[in-house]
A and B are shown apart, each in its own frame.
Chain A
């Protein structure tokens, strides 16, 4: 085979690969662009033939309509509160438990660890109705605690932290700290925590995104508008009798932007965290 035909073949497959990836990238990005187009056009421009395909001038009007229909910023604030507290709690409890599993000896260690792994296999809908009942009994309906407290259960987080701690925190360091008279908690806090920051970052991204985007459970336990997370509040936009698509997509667009901006800034960390987490489990 001559070199010329080889390079020719290469450039043909190059063209093919670029075309393929460009189409994929376009189809992935287009809905975001389209959301923005709708968010800046009025309903009549959207509902006409041909429909609006370039950004219009109704950006402010549409968003004002959103604010008049739902408590947009309140819901955004609730989502932020719920996601931040749950994520912080999960980081703390999971690393503490993971540390115990990785570095301590105690009776039933394997049994408890396997028990945690088994809980990962159970579909969350199985206990949905009794969970709702418990929340009503605790009087936590319409209370953000109903999302935060059950959200602290994270079997994957414990598993993830145990793996990371056992391979990244040296036993010698733990022993040395103990001989120096550090309490067990001090060993965790002063020796383990500084070493496992990367594992915190990964777990934080996974958990934060999960809680931020969760819908079924908040929908079940948050019934009053003042307690809505942003996902539940967005649903309020489409529940109106008159469908104002400009308004609906304006709300959706501005609810989507914050996470997308964070993602674009930290894209490497995000992609690595979210996929690595899945593969390891």
Chain B
């Protein structure tokens, strides 16, 4: 009798200990996750809300703010340079992204082949550009795309009898130069991601296709691409967002002139804010960019889902 009693006591005691233990655990948990939320409140959430507020204000960063209604948005949307920056961004998105993804898949396919040795050498070399900083890439390619005759690309062109191109001032020249920088830095990265995806495809599928007499093209079309779909969606998604935020390459390549041939949306935003000190329109531009990113990402996911079926 007394034994059961003491046992019950022990149990309730343990329960009580357990409860406080549980509380303690929750308190610890809140403390452990709080640094993120405190910092995010200050440097993330507040700035975002403030951006939406600023989008409707007239402000140069120093004086007092003045309510401006939709004027900032109107101003941005009627500024031809904003539209140029948007067109430029979209063109460079297409030029930089699509070849990158296609060649990435081809290279991954080659690297995955059983016929190839020295795989790690090839892997390391194609990945090396990704470790290089964007600034360094932009500087090096900026010199290669020198508009003079002795610029590397113009020298190569001259071998084929093509006249020197003024890369830094012509409409297509600037875009091709910047897209090349993006392409060079990211193609190996995407190759390795596709390679990881390819290695996850069960080998039996290819063997079965082989027995059925499928050609290489058919194997790629009916096995590789569908199986890679999730990874393709991922890379399209990340490279789209990356392309819309293009800033470093154009800033380094065209410099402080913010030439219209190469201005991108983020560069436009940067110029409005930090060169012209028009914080209101710059915030409006940031909001517009945000909306564009949401729309394009949704379209992206939608198309990718359609295509794979």
Question: A: which residues have CB within 8 A of B?
Answer: 10, 13-14, 17-18, 20-21, 24-25, 27-29, 31-32, 34-35, 38, 46-51, 93, 96-97, 99-101, 104-107, 109, 112, 115-116, 119, 122-134, 149-150, 152-155, 158, 178, 184-185, 188, 209, 212-213, 215-216, 220, 231, 234-235, 237-239, 245, 248-249, 252, 255-256, 259-260, 263-264, 267-268, 270-271, 274-276, 278-279
Contacts and interface: CB of A to CB of B under 8 A. Distances in A.
Task: Classify chain B's interface size.
Answer: 35 or more
B143 A249 contact: yes
A69 to B, nearest CB: 14
B51 A97 contact: no
Interface in B81-115: 106-107, 110-111, 113, 115
B243 interface: no
B304 to A, nearest CB: 16
Contacts of A18: 116
B289 A123 contact: yes
Nearest to A13: B115
Interface stretch (B121-129, B170-178, B218-226): B121-129
A18 B119 CA distance: 10
A270 B43 CA distance: 29
A33 to B, nearest CB: 11
Contacts of B198: none
Contacts of B142: 238
Interface string B1-42: 000000000000000000001101110111011011101101
A244 B256 CA distance: 18
Interface in B135-152: 135-137, 139-144, 146, 148-150, 152
Given A51-B150, A260-B128, A99 B32 contact: yes
Nearest to B26: A106
Contacts of B115: 10, 13-14, 17
Top 3 closest pairs, chain A to chain B, by CB: A127-B47, A130-B47, A130-B50
A270 B192 CA distance: 12
B136 to A, nearest CB: 5
Nearest to A32: B128
A189 to B, nearest CB: 12
B134 A213 contact: yes
Given A29-B128, A125-B286, A235-B252, A97 B36 contact: yes
Nearest to B248: A215
Contacts of A178: 21
Interface of B is mostly: helix
26 contacts: A10-B115, A17-B115, A25-B126, A28-B129, A31-B184, A100-B33, A104-B29, A104-B32, A123-B289, A126-B47, A129-B283, A130-B51, A133-B61, A134-B43, A154-B36, A155-B36, A231-B134, A238-B252, A252-B139, A252-B140, A255-B133, A260-B131, A268-B120, A270-B127, A279-B231, A279-B234
Given A25-B126, A122-B48, A129-B283, A17 B35 contact: no
B282 interface: yes
Contacts of A134: 42-43, 46-47
A32 B273 CA distance: 35
Interface of A is mostly: helix
Given A31-B140, A100-B29, A129-B279, A279 B134 contact: no
A238 B128 contact: no
A28 B126 contact: yes
A31 B144 contact: yes
Given A20-B107, A215-B135, A249-B139, A51 B54 contact: no
Contact of A264 (B124, B137, B148, B184): B124
Given A25-B121, A28-B127, A31-B129, 12 more contacts: A20-B107, A31-B137, A115-B37, A119-B44, A128-B269, A133-B50, A153-B40, A188-B32, A215-B133, A215-B134, A220-B274, A249-B139
A225 B21 CA distance: 52
A18 B110 CA distance: 8
A153 B286 contact: no
A240 to B, nearest CB: 11
A124 B127 CA distance: 26
Interface in B233-285: 234, 238, 241, 244-245, 247-248, 252, 255-256, 266, 269-270, 273-274, 279, 282-283
B78 interface: no
Contacts of A237: 139
Contact of A213 (B133, B241, B266): B133
B285 to A, nearest CB: 9
B122 A34 contact: no
Contact of B282 (A116, A129, A150): A129
Contacts of B111: 21
Contacts of A263: 128, 131
Contacts of B32: 96-97, 99-100, 104, 188
Nearest to B143: A245
Contacts of A130: 46-48, 50-51, 54
A28 B132 CA distance: 11
Contact of A255 (B47, B136, B148, B248): B136
B76 interface: no
